[in-house]
């Protein structure tokens, strides 16, 4: 197999580190760069050097689990189904917490290489202060294996907890990474597509008898809640029209290109699908955590020519659909981790056709604007530093509270990541509840406008 430059460099560096006697290696590689292949190559090197007997991998979702199992089996030339005759197995983090009857004794009697994908889902470095996934890694796995490779494309957590197995450097406690392969390098090496991000705004928002000339101003000064924008039919219709136009343009050079809409709820997804099909004449499928055959829907879309897939908590980090080129980010979840993982779904480059650009469309909400501007930072300094590690929890925020501090993204994934800015006029985790206290009347009465960011 011909490796990408970074995969070859990182796998060799990890192997040399393990060979020198070190147990832990942590790699940051931008979403869609091909982390699984790199990890499988490291396992292959360790087997060839007679340094391990088995390899076990852990993933945040069933979709990623299946993808890792196939990739490792192909590169190692042996099954990875975890049964008799296999060289190892791939499990979800959820499996660790729910399968108390699983027999992990072989970890102590054999030489085992453990691979943790998207390790940022596992929070905490002390058993009593860790979330459920992090706690199982610390108590069941980490002390009983020979070597550990931890991988992530977004090395931080929304709840600001330290990542399990990660090392932090004093005095400001920034994360220490053994290898970094960022988005800028991936674009330079033709590994990932060049992202273009369009932020939609409106120059006249009437909120409670006052007018504001931008979405940001209305949200800050008038307490306009973001979900109100997402639920506004005209705003939704306009954002979808921009996305549909982008996909039509992309399909001129890439006929089977697809689009992803990230919706905030099943009801919102149904509404979006209705608009796409009935008003825009698009073909579309909907996948959510409610569907028993969700993975089958995703697999069918992967190889079809259907234009859109509308997702509610399903097409997330590690989901490999290379034909996705356009994304409408219409979720109320606005964290930097989620934003980058959503963007990563449309960055996976296909080698045989012209498909060098990807397009993300969303609203010019303050946090999303900041995330866009910071895309050049592989590890955004604004969010990954810790003032200190809590040694003794206060009574109000004791161990029980910290143990249950998984982000909403974590829980939903359980077993089922400005050089040219022009305006074009055209005629911390935040989720919201529609309560009587924050409801204010508003109307979008001005012209829509688009700010286009091409930052690489």
Determine the pLDDT at residue 126.
57
Q: SS3 of 290, please?
A: coil
DSSP conformational letter for 345: T
Token pair, residue 336, equals: 């930097």
For residues 83 and 222, membership in a common domain is answered with no
Determine the pLDDT at residue 127.
52
- At 209, the pLDDT band (50, 70, 90 cuts) reads confident
pTM of the model: 0.78
For residues 335 and 313, membership in a common domain is answered with yes
Tens digit of pLDDT for each residue in 1-41? 889 999 999 999 999 999 999 999 999 998 888 999 999 99
Tens digit of pLDDT for each residue in 332-366? 999 888 898 899 999 988 877 777 899 999 999 99
Do 261 and 312 form a contact (C-beta atoms < 8 A)?
no
Determine the pLDDT at residue 389.
37
Looking at the chain, the whole-number percentage of residues with pLDDT higher than 90 is 51
Q: SS3 of 268, please?
A: helix
3-state secondary structure 195-231: EEEEEEEECCEEECCEEECCHHHHHHHHCCCHHHHHH
For residues 301 and 334, membership in a common domain is answered with yes
Residue 390 has pLDDT above 70, yes or no: no
For residues 340 and 233, membership in a common domain is answered with yes
Determine the pLDDT at residue 235.
95
CA distance 264 to 268: 6
| Residue 407 within any structural domain of the chain | no
Determine the pLDDT at residue 336.
87
Do 198 and 450 form a contact (C-beta atoms < 8 A)?
yes
| Residue 213 within any structural domain of the chain | yes
Token pair, residue 378, equals: 């592989």
Average pLDDT, integer, range 278-293: 92
Lowest mean pLDDT among 235-239, 274-278, 296-300: 296-300
Residue 165 has pLDDT above 90, yes or no: no
For residue 313, give its domain range. 193-377+416-454
For residues 236 and 359, membership in a common domain is answered with yes
∠ Cα 376 379 382 (to 5°): 95
Question: Considering only CA atoms, which of 112, 137, 111 is closest in space to residue 122?
Answer: 137
Work out the angle between the directed axes of helices 35-48 and 5-19 (0-180°, nearest 10). 40
Average pLDDT, the chain: 82
CA distance 14 to 88: 19
Give the residue with greater pLDDT, 306 vs 209.
306
| Residue 406 within any structural domain of the chain | no
Do 115 and 149 form a contact (C-beta atoms < 8 A)?
yes
For residues 150 and 256, membership in a common domain is answered with no
């Amino acid at each position: 197999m011909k490796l990408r430059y970074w995969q070859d460099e990182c796998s060799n560096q990890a192997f040399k580190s393990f060979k020198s006697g070190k147990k832990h290696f942590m790699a940051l590689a931008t979403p869609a760069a091909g982390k699984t292949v790199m990890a499988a190559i490291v396992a292959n090197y360790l087997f060839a050097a007679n340094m391990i007997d088995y390899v076990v991998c852990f993933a945040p979702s069933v979709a990623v689990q299946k993808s890792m199992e196939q990739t490792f089996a192909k590169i190692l030339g042996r099954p990875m189904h975890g049964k008799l005759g296999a060289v190892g197995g791939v499990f979800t983090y959820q499996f660790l917490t729910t399968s108390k009857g699983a027999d992990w004794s072989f970890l102590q009697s054999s030489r085992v290489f453990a691979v943790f994908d998207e390790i940022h889902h596992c929070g905490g470095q002390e058993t009593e202060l860790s979330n459920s996934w992090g706690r199982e890694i610390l108590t069941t796995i980490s002390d009983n294996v020979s070597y550990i490779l931890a991988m992530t494309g977004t090395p931080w957590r929304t709840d600001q907890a330290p990542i399990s197995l990660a090392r932090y450097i004093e005095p400001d406690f920034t994360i220490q990474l053994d290898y970094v392969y960022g988005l800028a390098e991936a674009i330079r090496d033709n590994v990932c597509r060049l992202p273009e991000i369009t932020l939609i705004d409106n120059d006249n928002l009437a909120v409670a008898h006052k007018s504001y000339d931008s979405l940001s101003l209305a949200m800050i000064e008038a307490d306009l809640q973001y979900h109100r924008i997402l639920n506004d039919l005209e705003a939704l219709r306009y954002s979808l029209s921009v996305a549909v136009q982008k996909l039509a343009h992309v399909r001129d050079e890439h006929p089977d290109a697809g689009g992803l809409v990230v919706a905030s709820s099943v009801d919102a997804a149904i509404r979006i699908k209705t608009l796409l099909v009935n008003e825009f004449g698009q073909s579309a499928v909907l996948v959510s955590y409610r569907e028993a055959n969700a993975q089958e829907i995703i697999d069918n879309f992967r190889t079809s020519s259907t234009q859109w897939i509308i997702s509610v908590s399903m097409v997330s980090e590690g989901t490999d659909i290379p034909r996705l080129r356009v994304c409408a980010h219409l979720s109320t979840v606005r964290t930097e981790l989620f934003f980058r993982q959503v963007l990563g779904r449309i960055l996976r480059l296909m080698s045989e056709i012209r498909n060098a650009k990807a397009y993300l469309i969303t609203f010019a909400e303050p946090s999303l604007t900041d995330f866009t501007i910071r895309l050049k930072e592989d590890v955004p300094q604004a969010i990954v530093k810790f003032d200190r590690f809590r040694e003794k929890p206060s009574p109000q925020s004791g161990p029980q509270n910290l143990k249950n501090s998984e982000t909403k993204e974590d829980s939903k994934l359980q077993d089922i990541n400005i050089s040219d800015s022009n305006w074009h006029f055209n005629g911390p985790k935040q989720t919201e509840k529609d309560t009587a206290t924050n409801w204010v009347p508003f109307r979008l009465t001005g012209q829509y406008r688009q700010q286009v960011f091409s930052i690489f």
